[in-house]
Structure 1
Amino acid sequence: MKVMILATLAAIAFAAPVRAQPAPISDQDISNAYIYLLGRLMVTRQQQLDFQEGFKWNELRHRKPGAVDWPNPNLDVAYSEAWVAVDEESCTIVTVPKVEGRYYTVQVLNGWGETLANINERVFPNRPSGEFALCLRGAKATLPTEVVRIDLPVKHSRILSRVELGDDWDKAVALQHQFTLRATGNPALPDIPRTPIFELEQFPGVEAFDAAEAALDSEPDINPGLEAMQERTRAIARAAKEQPERGRIDQVIREQAFAEIAKAGTRIGHGTVQNGWARPGVVGEYGIDYLTRTLVNYRGIWANVKPEVLYYRGGNDSTGAELNGDNVYTLTFPKDELPSRFANYFWSVIAVDSTRFRVLPNPRNRYLLNRETKPEYNADGSLTLYFADQKPSDAPDGNWLPTPKGTVYRLTFRYYGPTEGVANGTYYPPALRRMN
C-alpha cells in the first residue's frame, strides 16, 4: 500500500508541475512602471479635458492665437486641434490649403504623445497642399485618386495643426480656418478612458495604477521593446488592489518615483546640458526611452520631431543658479551664431513658471521674443536679449522679455526647421549672465 501511495504521488508530481511564482515586485520596478504609465496618463488627462470642453471626433477646433492652456505653448503659431477616429472602412480626409511664405504643419500623434506623421512641405515637397487621407493601416476605404493616403498604426489619434503667425496675424488666421477634416464613413468611436484628471503640480499616487488597465487597453504602445514594461505595469496594478502592497506602492511612488522624475527633469531624461541649456536626446519619437517621453508630455505635451523643431530649455545662469525674476539677465549671440542662422523658418524664446510651465503674466502682455518683436542688433552684429522685471535702460524694447519679480522660471528656446549645429546636436545657446 505504501509503495502504491508513493507511486501515485510521484505520478501527480510529474503530471502537474509546480507553476513558477511571479517575480517579486521591487521598489525600482514600481518607480519605473509608474514613470512609464504616467506618460500615457498625461495624454488621457488632456483628452478628457478636451472632450469636457466640447471636442467631437473628426472635427477641428480652431484656437485663437495664444488661447491654449498647455505647458510651454508655442505663441508663434495659430493652433487647430482634433481627435481623429478611423477604422477598417473609414478614413479621415485632411484638407490643407496652399500656404506660402510661412511655416505650417499638420502633426498626427498617438495616445502616448508619439508623432506618427507630419503633413507639410518638408514631408511632401512635390504636393504640400490638397487632400490627405489618414487611414488605418490595411483599411479598405475607397478614396478619390487625387487624395494622398497616409497609413496609421492606430485607430485613434490626435491632430495638431500649426500656422506661423508672422507679422500678419489676420492672414495666418484666415489660412488656419481653411484646414478642415471630414470622415469618409462612420468609424466606430471609442470610449474616452477614465483616468485621473490631476493638476500638473500634483501627480497621482497609487491611484495611477487603478487606471492602468483602462489606459493601456485603450492604446497600444507601438514601440518594440516596451512589452515587458507594459506587463510589469499590469502586474503592479493587480498588486495595488490588495494591502499591504497598495500602501507600499503608494509610498514608493511618492518617495522614489517623484524624486527620480525631478532629477531626470534637469536633463530632460537622457538629454544633455551645456551653458545652462538642456537639449533632449529624443523628442516626438521616443523608441524605448519612456522616461523622456513622460517628461516631455509633462512639460511640453504634443512636442514634434526634431526635423520640425528643436527645443532647448534654460533653467540656470552662467553660475548655475536658477533663473529668478528678481534678477536681470542678458543672453548675447555672437554675430556668426545668431538664432536665425540655425532656423529655416523662425526662432523664439518664452519664459514659463517652474511648476505649471505657463507663460509669465506681465503688464506688457509680452510673452515671447522673436523676429516680430523687432530686436535690435549691437554695433558688432551680435544680438543681446534681456530678461528682467523692468526694462533695463540700455535694452531696446524689442529685445526685452518681462520676467516678474519673485518668479522662478525657465526659458524655452525654439528653432523651427533646425539646421547645422542645432540639427546635429553640436550647438547650444550661450549662457545667461546675471547683471545685478
Structure 2
Amino acid sequence: MNTSEKLQKRPSVRNWLWVGLVVLLIVGSTLWSQMGTVRLAAKSYVFGYPLVLTELTRNSFTHSIAPANRLVNMAEFPEADFRVFVRPNIDTLYTQAWLDMEAGPWVFEVPACSRYLVMQFLDAWSNVFASVGTRTTGDEGGRFLLAGPDWDGQVPEGMTLLRSSTRMNWLLGRIQTNGKADYSAVHAIQAGLSLRSLDDWKQDKVVEALPFKLPEQLPPSPLFEMRKLAPRAFFGQLSRLMEDNPAAATDAAAVAELEQLGVRVGEGEPRWNWLQEKTVAVGMWLAEREMHEALERRDLLVNGWRQAPKHIAAFGQDYGVRAVVAMVGFGANLAAEATYLNAITDAHGEVLQGDQRYRLHFAADQLPPAKAFWSLTAYDDDGYLIPNPLHRFALGDRDKLVYNPDGSLNLLMQSEAPGEEQLSNWLPTPNSGPFSITGRIYLPTQRMLDGQWQMPGIERL
C-alpha cells in the first residue's frame, strides 16, 4: 500500500494536515499584515524620539539641577573623573535654562562681548529656532524677548522678538574659555547675562542666575530612561507633549502616520490590543538598531573622520538624522556656528588604539578654517576624558603650539610623553584600548561648509 492509500484510510491524519495548513496560512497572513504596522511604528518612533528625549532631559535637569525658567552658569571645565555625560567640552563654559513659554514671555539680556559667544535656543523638537551671539548679533550684546506661539502682546522698544513654536524650550549657551586661567573673565561675562519674565523686567526686579551644581545622587540619564519606556508609555508621552509642542506644518504626513498607528495628539496612551503593542515594540527595536547602525557606517567617513551633516540643528523633515543627533549629541549647534568631526579610525581605516603612536599633519594652507578657534579633544572608548600628568585633554590654536618652519603643524597622539621639544604639541591618549578624537571648529568658514576643506587623516607612526 502506497503513502497516498495509507492517508486515505486514515482520515484523522488527513484532517490534521488540513488544520495545520490552515493554521500556517492564518499565522503567515497575520505576520504579513503586521509588517506595515512594524514599519509605521519604526518611522513614528524616529519621528517622536527628540520630543520625548527633550521632556526627559528637561525633567531630569529641573528636578536635580535647577528649576525651570532660571539661568544656570557652569563655572569650570570637567576633569577626567567627570562621568555625567560623554564627550564633555573643554572649549567653552555653558549657560543654560529650561523655559516654559506659558509662564513667559521672557526677557533675555546679553552683555557686549569681544570674544566668541553663542546663546542658542532650541525648540522641543531639538531644532535651533534662534541664535544670539558673535555670528548673528555681533559683539554689542542686546536685549531679546522670548515668546511662545500664542503670545500677541506688544514688544517693548529696544527688544528683538524671538518666537518659538513650542511651549518647551532650551537655552544652551557657550562662551569661549581659554583655559582655567581665563575663568574669571568668562565669569564676568556670565554675570552680565540675565533672564527674567517680562513682568519682572518692567518692575526692574533682578533674578539672579544659579551656579551649576551636581546633586549628590545623580539621576538616571535621559537616554537610559528613554530605553526603558514601553511602547504605550513612549507614544502616550508623545501624544501629550504634542498638544503644547505641535509638530511643524511640514510634518503633516508624519502626524497622519501617527494617527494610523492609533496615536492622536492629546489623547495619551493609545488603545492597542496585545498583538498591536508587541508589533509596535518590534518596530521600536528595529528603529533603535538602525539608529545605532547609522553611527557605525564607515562608507561615509572622509580620511577616517565623520562630519556632522550640514543641516544639523535645522533638520527639516530629515527625521532620521534628527533622532540620531539627539541620541549622541543632544543640543547640537548649527553647522555655521560650530562644526564637529569625530575619528575612531586612522587614515587607513584601522581603529585608533592606545598602545600605538599617531600624528596629525596639517599643511600650512590646510589648517582648520575657523573664524573663531578650533580644537581637538581625546576621549577613551566610553567617551570620557583621559587622565594624564599634564591634565591636558584638548589641543587647539589657542595653545602654544610649535609650527614647522614651512608653517605646517604636527600634532602627536600617544600615551607616553614625547621629548621636551614636542611636548607642546602632544595630545595624551590612553595607554591601551580604543579611543577617539573629536575636532571642533567654531565659526567655520564657507570653505568648510561647502566641503572644500577636509580634516586630514590621522597617521599611525
TM range (shorter): 0.7 to 0.9
Shift of 1:329: 1.5
Counterpart among 53, 57, 64 of residue 42 in structure 1: 53
CA–CA separation in structure 1 for the residues paired with 2:370 and 2:248: 30
- Check conservation: 1:318, 1:433, Cα contact below 8 A: yes
1:80 maps to: 95
Q: Secondary structure at the match of 1:347?
A: strand
- Check conservation: 2:73, 2:190, Cα contact below 8 A: yes
Q: Secondary structure at the match of 1:318?
A: coil
Counterpart among 105, 116, 120 of residue 103 in structure 1: 116
Superposed CA offset, 1:53-85 (max 9, x none):
142222101112224844433221111110112
1:144 maps to: 156
1:371 maps to: 397
Counterpart among 348, 351, 355 of residue 326 in structure 1: 355
Counterpart among 27, 35, 54 of residue 38 in structure 2: 27
1:227 maps to: 252
CA–CA separation in structure 2 for the residues paired with 1:385 and 1:297: 31
Q: Letter of the 1:232 partner, please give it.
A: E
Q: Letter of the 2:294 partner, please give it.
A: A
Shift of 1:267: 5.5
Shift of 1:361: 3.8
Question: Greater share of helix residues, 1 or 2?
Answer: 2
CA–CA separation in structure 2 for the residues paired with 1:397 and 1:368: 13
Q: Secondary structure at the match of 2:136?
A: coil
- Check conservation: 1:91, 1:133, Cα contact below 8 A: yes
Counterpart among 161, 167, 178 of residue 155 in structure 1: 167
**1:123 pairs with 2:118:** no
Q: Secondary structure at the match of 2:54?
A: helix
- Structure 1 residues 205, 144: closer, same or farther in 2, change over 3 A? closer
Shift of 1:299: 1.6
Q: Letter of the 1:109 partner, please give it.
A: L
**1:311 pairs with 2:352:** no
Q: Letter of the 1:412 partner, please give it.
A: T
Q: Letter of the 2:441 partner, please give it.
A: Y
Deviates more, 1:393-402 or 1:299-308: 393-402
- Check conservation: 1:86, 1:136, Cα contact below 8 A: yes
- Check conservation: 1:37, 1:233, Cα contact below 8 A: no
- Structure 1 residues 401, 223: closer, same or farther in 2, change over 3 A? farther
- Structure 1 residues 150, 197: closer, same or farther in 2, change over 3 A? same
- Structure 1 residues 363, 261: closer, same or farther in 2, change over 3 A? farther
Q: Letter of the 1:172 partner, please give it.
A: V
How many aligned positions are there? 396
CA–CA separation in structure 2 for the residues paired with 1:335 and 1:183: 50
Counterpart among 415, 431, 435 of residue 405 in structure 1: 431
Counterpart among 365, 371, 379 of residue 336 in structure 1: 365
Report the aligned-residue RMSD: 2.9
Superposed CA offset, 1:228-255 (max 9, x none):
334434626667843234334434544x
- Structure 1 residues 394, 171: closer, same or farther in 2, change over 3 A? closer
CA–CA separation in structure 2 for the residues paired with 1:257 and 1:156: 25
- Check conservation: 1:114, 1:284, Cα contact below 8 A: yes
Shift of 1:296: 1.4
Superposed CA offset, 1:295-340 (max 9, x none):
212222111112211111212111212222222221111011112x
- Structure 1 residues 365, 223: closer, same or farther in 2, change over 3 A? farther
**1:346 pairs with 2:373:** yes
Counterpart among 446, 450, 454 of residue 420 in structure 1: 446
Could you tell me the TM-score, scaled by structure 1's length? 0.81
2:240 maps to: 217
1:432 maps to: 458
1:258 maps to: 288
- Check conservation: 2:346, 2:459, Cα contact below 8 A: yes
Structure 2, unaligned runs of 5 or more: 1-32, 201-218, 264-268
CA–CA separation in structure 1 for the residues paired with 2:287 and 2:271: 16
What is the aligned-residue identity percentage?
24
Counterpart among 98, 101, 125 of residue 112 in structure 1: 125
Q: What are the within-5 Å matches in structure 2 for residues 146-225 of structure 1?
A: 146-166=158-178, 168-185=182-199, 200=223, 204=227, 207-219=230-242, 220=245, 222-225=247-250
Q: Secondary structure at the match of 1:337?
A: coil
Q: Letter of the 2:292 partner, please give it.
A: A
Deviates more, 1:26-35 or 1:232-241: 232-241
Q: Secondary structure at the match of 1:288?
A: coil
1:191 maps to: none
Could you tell me the TM-score, scaled by structure 2's length? 0.77
Shift of 1:411: 1.8
Q: Letter of the 1:213 partner, please give it.
A: G
CA–CA separation in structure 2 for the residues paired with 1:422 and 1:361: 32
Counterpart among 269, 274, 293 of residue 302 in structure 2: 274
CA–CA separation in structure 2 for the residues paired with 1:120 and 1:273: 31
